[in-house]
Every structure is written in structure tokens, then in C-alpha cells.
Structure 1
Amino acid sequence: MAEVQAIKKLDTINLISHLLEIRYSKQMADIWNIGLNLALRISDLLSIKFSDLQQDRLVIQETKTGKLANIKLNAKVIKAIEDIQVNHHDHIYLFQSYRNPQAKYSKPKPLTRRAVTKAFRIVGEELKVALGTHSMRKTRGYHLYQKTKDIGRVMKMLRHGSEGVTLRYIGIEQEDVDNDFINLEI
């Protein structure tokens, strides 16, 4: 599996959302937009049920780590979730599979990781960026770090145990460190 990266430019983040919607579906763009704001792994993001949402919070147990993720939802996520609920009031999953004709007669399931991975990869190829499902999580971490320069906060948000892992994860490279030395004159 190829290494994916954080998307560092806000214009590119918005363009990815737009391309996912016009090339695939509103649902695929919602995965990108909500995923950016929740910073969850794709398996956890796709498995969100409406019952996991408690007013303005999402509470789930992460599949990979077993850690509890208790996330306060921002206004953008709340609005997107409300829109999904209005349009799909009978769904159990936030990102429920419903386009496949067989889905109508089978037990409700979320979209597959494979479908999301394919859509992200193709849009990434179009934009010439290494885009994958983990890009949402990495992008959120990168932008929080750029805003706060507080690696501890980023670690806590991503539920990481090591600063080194988090810095590599969000794509902080020597060039970024060099720019910090140039731009901060004391």
C-alpha cells in the first residue's frame, strides 16, 4: 500500500471534496468532509452508527487500539450529519451502502473501505497527490499542528503515544523545521 500524505493546501482540500461529489457522489464527499473533522481511521469512520451520536458528541471505541474516542462535533459536522439524517432517515449507519440494488433486501451495512479507497485514489491521481483514506486523519493533524505548534494536542487528538510518530505521521519534514527557523527571528 502506497504512503499517503496530509493535504497541506486548503484549496486542494476543497477541490478534493468537490471532485468526490461530482465524480462519485455527495456521500463520498461527506465521507471526506466529515472524516477531515473527526480524524478517525477509515474503519471507525465507516462504522459510525447514528446511535453512536449523542447530541454534539461522537462516542465510539476504536477498532485498532480499543481506545475510547469521545469527540465533540463541530458545526460543520453537525450540519452534514443532520442533512444525511433528513435524506436517509431509515439508515442505521452514517455512511450506509444503499446504491447497490441488492442492498435494499439485505441487512444494512456501511460503505466498504474498498469503495472509498478507490474513489480517493482516483481523485488523488487526477490532482497528482498521494491521496488515500488515511489522508483525512493526517490532514487534520497537520493543520492542527500548523495552527497551534502544539504536538501534545495533536498527539491527544490522534490518540498517539509518541511525538516522533505523530510528527512523521502528519508529514512534518526537515523543510518545515528549516522554515520555522527562518520565519521565527528573536
Structure 2
Amino acid sequence: MPTANLPAIRACRSAWNKGRIVGQKRPLLPKHVWAIRVRLELAERHRDLALFNLAIDSKLRGCDLVKLRVPDVFAANQVKERASIIQSKTGRPVRFEITEGTRRSLARWMAEPLMIGSEYLWPGRFHERLHISTRQYARLVRDWVSSIGLEPSSYGTHSMRRTKVAQIYRKTGNLRAVQLLLGHTKMDSTVRYLGVDLEDALAISEGVDI
């Protein structure tokens, strides 16, 4: 007796992103940055404060930030005012500033016993791991934003990378400067990364009177 070709029955599975906020992660606002800094200072979390501050200043991808070595930011017994590294993703150099507050927090962190003789700026806690992982860094970012009442799914490691350049772009409208600071090879990448749209362009244009 012939059998009918019936459609296969498949178990219903929830979408991987159900209940999650996907897409670009938001940059932190200045008030968020200061709120997190104050909490980390009060808790005397010296490593986290140094990592948070340098993440904001450097605008580095997480994969580059976690692999920073002490000589990248420290020379002649003091923290550098500017530093340069080769990006893992592009193989191109990028320079960044280290502001006074960040230099203080880095100096305080490097005075910790754990940092004596350490090659890496953020050493791992296990012998087989030379430095913290990008996963650990992502967990720290979630902890930081949660501590001030922000929704952690709206923020991530790229929020740290975008925070300072978002303010620079907002205040100056200078996309070329942002491109250089992020180490992008193409302006299109910078435009997409910042989420620049027609409203931004019009606002910049309205501010120029000729």
C-alpha cells in the first residue's frame, strides 16, 4: 500500500536571539563612564579601573586590549602619554593617547604584587593563560554596566571602543579623525561603525554657515 509523502515533523526551536538585543552595541555616555569609575574606585578594584580607563582611551578592539604588554604603555619608569600597537585584525599600526587619569590608574595597578615581573598588562590567573581572555573582558564589561543599572545586553566590548569616538564625532563631526583613531582602513567602515546617518549629516551641514 503506497504511503503519502508527508512533511517532516521538526521540533520547534527558539531563535538563537530570542529575548536578546542584537545589532550594534551602544557607546557609554559620559555620565555612565564617570559612574563606573566612581564605583570601581570606591571598591578599590585597581585592575578593573585601569582596564576600564585604558579601554576608553585606547579605543582598541578587545582582542588587542587583552594582549597589551607592559612595555606597550610603560617606559622609563613611567606610563607613556601616547602608545602605538599593531592591530591583530588589520596588521596596521594604530596610536592612542593615555590621559592623566588613566596613567594614574595604570601606575597604581602596576604597583600591585601580581604585576611584579609580569610581561602582560592584564595577566591571567592561571599558569597556562598568559593574559585575560576576550571572554573574561566581555564578562567584566557586563559587570561594569550592570553595576550602574544599565541593560547589559545593550552594551559590550565594542561599547568601550565606540565610547570616546562617539563623543569626538558628536562634538566635531570629523570622520577622518575618528577613522584614524579607530585604525580603520576605509571611511565606509567608520561611517557604519558610528552609525552615521542622514540626520547626522544634516546636523553637521546646518552648523556650517557660508
Query: TM-score, normalised on structure 1?
Result: 0.78
CA contact (8 A) 1:41 1:137 kept: yes
State the alpha-carbon separation in 2 of the partners of residues 165 and 25 from structure 1.
35
- For the pair 1:48 / 2:68, whether they are aligned, the reply is yes
**SS of aligned partner of 1:168:** helix
Alignment RMSD, CA only? 2.8
CA contact (8 A) 2:46 2:109 kept: no
Residue correspondence of structure 1 range 80-95 to structure 2 within 5 A: 80-87=105-112, 88-95=115-122
1:117 alignment counterpart = 138
CA contact (8 A) 1:154 1:166 kept: yes
State the alpha-carbon separation in 2 of the partners of residues 135 and 24 from structure 1.
23
Q: Which has the larger radius of gyration?
A: 2
2:150 alignment counterpart = 127
2:174 alignment counterpart = 150
The one-letter amino acid of 1:82's match is A
CA drift of 1:159 comes to 1.3
CA drift of 1:178 comes to 5.2
State the alpha-carbon separation in 1 of the partners of residues 150 and 104 from structure 2.
28
2:96 alignment counterpart = 71
CA contact (8 A) 2:70 2:120 kept: yes
The one-letter amino acid of 1:172's match is V
State the alpha-carbon separation in 2 of the partners of residues 131 and 29 from structure 1.
18
| Identity within the alignment, % | 21
Which residue of the other structure, out of 193, 197, 205, is the alignment partner of 1:169? 193
State the alpha-carbon separation in 1 of the partners of residues 193 and 44 from structure 2.
28
Which consecutive unaligned segments of at least 5 residues does structure 2 have? 1-16
- For the pair 1:96 / 2:119, whether they are aligned, the reply is no
Which piece of structure 1 moves more, 89-98 or 40-49?
A: 89-98
State the alpha-carbon separation in 1 of the partners of residues 41 and 73 from structure 2.
24
CA contact (8 A) 2:50 2:102 kept: no
The one-letter amino acid of 1:127's match is L
Which piece of structure 1 moves more, 37-46 or 56-65?
A: 56-65
Which residue of the other structure, out of 25, 36, 40, is the alignment partner of 1:16? 36
State the alpha-carbon separation in 1 of the partners of residues 117 and 95 from structure 2.
25
- For the pair 1:30 / 2:55, whether they are aligned, the reply is no
Structure showing the higher helix proportion among its residues = 1
CA contact (8 A) 1:20 1:119 kept: no
CA contact (8 A) 1:6 1:171 kept: no
Which consecutive unaligned segments of at least 5 residues does structure 1 have? none
Report Cα offsets for 1:21-44 as digits up to 9, x if no partner: 678943233222111001111111
State the alpha-carbon separation in 1 of the partners of residues 43 and 150 from structure 2.
13
The one-letter amino acid of 2:46's match is K
CA contact (8 A) 2:57 2:97 kept: no
State the alpha-carbon separation in 1 of the partners of residues 196 and 42 from structure 2.
31
